[in-house]
């Protein structure tokens, strides 16, 4: 793994807690009639944070193409 992939993995793991909390409390507040707008915003922020987390996991675990000139062909 490269340094950028390790950094992406660390940031993705750090975003897991706040994104999950926003979703959990957003769903919890959906039943309250006077907190509907707050619940919708919390759900939106939770989805955005978890979407960023998924992107960072993709960056951390994607396969990089081999560098040019390192092919296994015979010369």
- Cβ-Cβ contacts under 8 Å for 2 (sequence gap 6 or more): 64
Mean pLDDT of 4-26: 92
Give 31 or 18, the one with higher predicted confidence: 18
Q: Residue 59 burial by CB count (10 A; 0-12/13-18/19+): exposed, middle or buried?
A: middle
Other C-beta atoms lying within 10 Å of the C-beta of residue 22: 20
Distances in Å between the Cα of 4 and the Cα atoms of 7, 11, 29, 57 are: 5, 11, 37, 12
Q: How many domains does the chain have?
A: 1
pLDDT band for position 71 (cuts 50, 70, 90): low
Q: What pLDDT score does 54 carry?
A: 94
Nearest to 39 by CA among 48, 50, 28, 49: 28
Question: What mean pLDDT do residues 1-25 have?
Answer: 91
Query: Does 73 fall in a domain?
Result: no
For residue 34, being part of any structural domain is answered with yes
pLDDT one-digit tens code per residue, 25-48: 999 888 887 888 899 999 999 999
Does any domain span residue 70? no
């Amino acid at each position: 793994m490269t340094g950028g992939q390790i950094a992406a993995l660390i940031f993705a793991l750090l975003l897991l807690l706040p994104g999950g909390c926003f979703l959990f409390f957003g769903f919890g507040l959906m039943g309250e009639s006077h907190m509907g707008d707050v619940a919708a915003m919390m759900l939106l922020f939770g989805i955005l944070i978890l979407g960023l987390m998924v992107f960072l996991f993709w960056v951390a675990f994607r396969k990089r193409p081999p560098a040019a000139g390192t092919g296994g062909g015979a010369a």
